[in-house]
Structure 1
Amino acid sequence: MAGSVKRPASTTGAISPPPVKRKIESTLTKQSVSSFFTPASQKKPEQITWRIVNNSLVVGKYAKKADHKQTTEKPKVAAFDLDSTLVSTASGNTFPKNSSDWKWWHDTVPSRLKELSADGYYVIIISNQKKISLQKDMKGGRSDSKSLTNFKERASAVMKQLDIPLSVYAATLDDGYRKPRIGMWKEFLDDYDFDVNGVDLSKSIYVGDAAGRPNDHSQVDRGFAVNAGVPFKTPEEFFLNAAPEPLVESFDPSLYLQSDQTDDEPLLHDEQGNNISPTASPPFSRQSALELVIFCGSPGAGKSTFYWDYLEPLGYERVNQDILKTNPESRTLLPGIAFGDFGRRFKEPTMAEGFKDIVRVDFRFRGDEESQKIWKQYWI
């Protein structure tokens, strides 16, 4: 070969290009070193602790000695929603851009909460936070997802500024913890050992902005308070002493049940509205070997229950999406919008469509007192 294409090694040992000089900053501090070598028994407990319940609920607690005097009276609780109740975004966006994008909803918020704590109230935050992901973020070099990290940092900043004993409950999924369901309330009662003797519901309160007013996105906060059995106020009413605003008329399960028929009234009506008593004669009788009975009703209306009570004993077979495997039982919780969509699209069947009989089945609740109490709650 005429010559090697390999570049001769540098006699100085230098490499090309030269490495960029980087200043390595140590993250060690005197405090961290001291803490590392301090025996565990001598370390002060963390002021803010976090835990995840059932891979769904985020719970944070700000530990500070409270002046809750020993008394025979039941404890009283002041519970609050977080966003648009205690805090709002500093940027003006609907949702915070980062963990520092927040400010007090009103200047009176921190002083009011400190007054409540001084008066012996247990102050807690109960908030729906569906944007939080509990998936691990190993690629980012941390176990918590970015959304969870941002929430923890934001909530921690709120708790530190208040500097009162405080717990935060954040529901991340559409399950039993999510308002208006009372899973977070039950978790709080269990955390504070109030689940046995209970709290003074009449002296407790829940404050939230989702109150069912014309411009509110929902009424889940008002529904939550009703379910928990505590008085409710909006932020304007509680912090600013504003007068209550009118509400949008909506479904009230407790009133619906009270207005339902009594045990003496019939359950069934024919096409003309005439009463059909299932106790006097069966609501259905076979006219031929093959018959098709079509149930038309919203999800959860009681179609399956009616089948098992009246049709199954007559030998009718039941066919639905679960049996056909077109909608497996492992499906997610049906969203509230599905019920509203059904109501908008529903068209009452008529004889002109070829039916031999049309029977209207009025709703009637059946169950013990505890089951009725659960039924009367807001769920969506």
Structure 2
Amino acid sequence: MAGSAKRSASGAISPPPVKRKIESTVTKQSMSSFFTPTSQKKPKQITWRIVNNSLVVGKYAKESDHEQSAEKPRVAAFDLDSTLVSTASGNTFPRNSSDWKWWHDTVPSRLKELSADGYHVIVISNQKKISLQKEIKGGRSDSKSLTNFKERAAAVMEQLDIPLSVYAATLDDGYRKPRIGMWKEFLDDYDFDATGVDLSKSIFVGDAAGRPNDHSQVDRGFAANTEVPFKTPEEFFLNAAPEPLVEPFDPSLYLQADQNDDASPPFSRQSGLELVIFCGSPGAGKSTFYWDYLEPLGYERVNQDILKTRPKCIKVAKEHLAAGSSVVVDNTNADPETRSQWIEIAKGFSVPIRCVYFSASPALCRHNNAVRAANQSLNPESRTLLPGIAFGDFGRRFKEPTTSEGFKDIIRVDFRFRGDEESERIWKQYWI
């Protein structure tokens, strides 16, 4: 029969399929861990957490972690990049998670000595290049930058093999050095906010020390704000002599001294109707000056941050002048061309125009702006701190006003901070 006919001898016969060996992905270690009671399981050596969607915290735990002592704890805190490690490639920033080496051969042994001597060793680092946004692509829960940082920091912690915590500030907020948010988080993690730390016997080491070739002085400022002694990596690891400093910005120099009640106010009305323009960089104290001295005298305020455009400021100022109210233009008015528009308006209303010039330095203005930007929860108009949030180049293209432009007078104002005890404490901590 056709159905029972044998296949032709010339036809190729496929070999039987090879049985594939199924490899188990379950290791003996994972099986043992699965059946081990939770109470008997050892904690993971490295754990990570994110605080307020801003601060990255990693902890390397060991069974030989520090025991409780009757003495106050001592802390050895370090910056990370250019202090404990540098890039193996020579790049300013690491190419990937494996692009690192010890800053000096003595670093790991010195940190192990500190830990053996009872110090709590921690890392306090600004890491603004880390993004905390989740990555759906590839199924990753962490961004590539966060993954790279975790892997690099984990490699450092594993090579040291000592109890170690890493704090990394990713935003320009209260956690970022020289502000002390990371230090507070560390104290809270270890309950040292209750017991206290032996500050005089602790140390903070960092490369941003305000030396001529340093990118900033945030590490030195952080140490000053935490009241912990400070050293550079060269001083701490290599016993080098201290280097000369670039003149640091010190906010405490601008604190308002107690004024005599009999002192005359810095501004007084000279005419029944007048136009006053402020002239100064963002963060120079213009709005504070208005609320303290001109608002009580009945001057109306025109501000471009509120009204958004200069034409609208001009329109509102003209309406106030037409209604018989003196006006303050609370804008930067940084160049003669801008100021000339207000001078023409004053001429059109036949009123004198006066200028208040705020002479705060660019460094001071940057400091003020940093305070405002990182403390947005404060009511901008309450003057608890400096009102508002302003942006600008802080004097880079600023042209100082002169009487030859047509002003009746120019009143010069030097910035001085005046606030309550808490706002003063916050204001002093924002070193540049």
| Normalised TM-score (structure 2) | 0.72
Task: For 2:145 and 2:259, locate their aligned partners in 1 and report how far apart those are by CA, in whole Å.
Answer: 49
* Structure 1 position 290, deviation (Å): 4.8
Cα distance change on mapping 1:134 and 1:343 into 2, 3 Å: same
User: How big is each residue's C-alpha offset from its partner over 1:160-207, in whole Å with a ceiling of 9 and x where there is no partner?
Assistant: 111111100001111111111111111111111111342111111110
Cα distance change on mapping 1:20 and 1:209 into 2, 3 Å: farther
Q: After superposing the two structures, state which structure 1 stretch, 60-69 or 98-107, moved more.
A: 60-69
* Structure 1 position 230, deviation (Å): 0.9
Instruction: Indicate conservation of the 8 Å contact 1:51/1:60, yes or no.
Output: yes
More helix by share: 2
Cα distance change on mapping 1:262 and 1:241 into 2, 3 Å: farther
User: How big is each residue's C-alpha offset from its partner over 1:290-316, in whole Å with a ceiling of 9 and x where there is no partner?
Assistant: 532222233333222211111112221
User: How big is each residue's C-alpha offset from its partner over 1:332-354, in whole Å with a ceiling of 9 and x where there is no partner?
Assistant: 99999999932332332111111
Residue 8 (structure 2) aligns with: 8
Identity in percent: 91
User: How big is each residue's C-alpha offset from its partner over 1:260-307, in whole Å with a ceiling of 9 and x where there is no partner?
Assistant: 99888xxxxxxxxxxxxxxx6555455556532222233333222211
Q: After superposing the two structures, state which structure 1 stretch, 253-262 or 330-339, moved more.
A: 330-339
Cα distance change on mapping 1:146 and 1:282 into 2, 3 Å: closer
User: How big is each residue's C-alpha offset from its partner over 1:125-171, in whole Å with a ceiling of 9 and x where there is no partner?
Assistant: 00011111111011121101111111111111111111111100001
Task: For 1:301 and 1:377, locate their aligned partners in 2 and report how far apart those are by CA, in whole Å.
Answer: 18
Task: For 1:47 and 1:157, locate their aligned partners in 2 and report how far apart those are by CA, in whole Å.
Answer: 12
* Structure 1 position 51, deviation (Å): 0.2
Instruction: Indicate conservation of the 8 Å contact 1:224/1:378, yes or no.
Output: no
Instruction: Indicate conservation of the 8 Å contact 1:214/1:248, yes or no.
Output: yes
RMSD between aligned residues: 5.9
Q: Which runs of 5+ in 1 are unaligned?
A: 265-279
Cα distance change on mapping 1:296 and 1:97 into 2, 3 Å: same
User: How big is each residue's C-alpha offset from its partner over 1:208-243, in whole Å with a ceiling of 9 and x where there is no partner?
Assistant: 111111111111111111111111111010000011
Aligned residues: 363
Cα distance change on mapping 1:243 and 1:314 into 2, 3 Å: same
Equivalent residue of 2:29, what SS?
A: helix
Task: For 2:16 and 2:197, locate their aligned partners in 1 and report how far apart those are by CA, in whole Å.
Answer: 70
Instruction: Indicate conservation of the 8 Å contact 1:85/1:235, yes or no.
Output: yes
> Which protein has the larger Cα radius of gyration, Structure 1 or Structure 2?
2
Cα distance change on mapping 1:164 and 1:332 into 2, 3 Å: farther
Equivalent residue of 1:318, what SS?
A: strand
User: How big is each residue's C-alpha offset from its partner over 1:100-123, in whole Å with a ceiling of 9 and x where there is no partner?
Assistant: 111111111111011111111111
Cα distance change on mapping 1:329 and 1:55 into 2, 3 Å: farther
Cα distance change on mapping 1:153 and 1:196 into 2, 3 Å: same
Equivalent residue of 2:394, what SS?
A: helix
Instruction: Indicate conservation of the 8 Å contact 1:78/1:116, yes or no.
Output: yes
Is 1:312 matched with 2:295? yes
Equivalent residue of 1:52, what SS?
A: strand
Task: For 1:4 and 1:364, locate their aligned partners in 2 and report how far apart those are by CA, in whole Å.
Answer: 108
Instruction: Indicate conservation of the 8 Å contact 2:107/2:237, yes or no.
Output: yes
Cα distance change on mapping 1:125 and 1:19 into 2, 3 Å: farther
Cα distance change on mapping 1:349 and 1:50 into 2, 3 Å: same
Instruction: Indicate conservation of the 8 Å contact 1:260/1:363, yes or no.
Output: no
* Structure 1 position 65, deviation (Å): 3.5
User: How big is each residue's C-alpha offset from its partner over 1:1-29, in whole Å with a ceiling of 9 and x where there is no partner?
Assistant: 9999999999xx99999999999976432
Q: After superposing the two structures, state which structure 1 stretch, 339-348 or 191-200, moved more.
A: 339-348
Q: After superposing the two structures, state which structure 1 stretch, 241-250 or 13-22, moved more.
A: 13-22
Residue 366 (structure 1) aligns with: 418
Task: For 1:235 and 1:218, locate their aligned partners in 2 and report how far apart those are by CA, in whole Å.
Answer: 15
Cα distance change on mapping 1:159 and 1:18 into 2, 3 Å: farther
| Normalised TM-score (structure 1) | 0.81
Q: Which runs of 5+ in 2 are unaligned?
A: 310-378
Task: For 1:335 and 1:179, locate their aligned partners in 2 and report how far apart those are by CA, in whole Å.
Answer: 23
Task: For 1:205 and 1:51, locate their aligned partners in 2 and report how far apart those are by CA, in whole Å.
Answer: 25
Instruction: Indicate conservation of the 8 Å contact 2:115/2:162, yes or no.
Output: yes
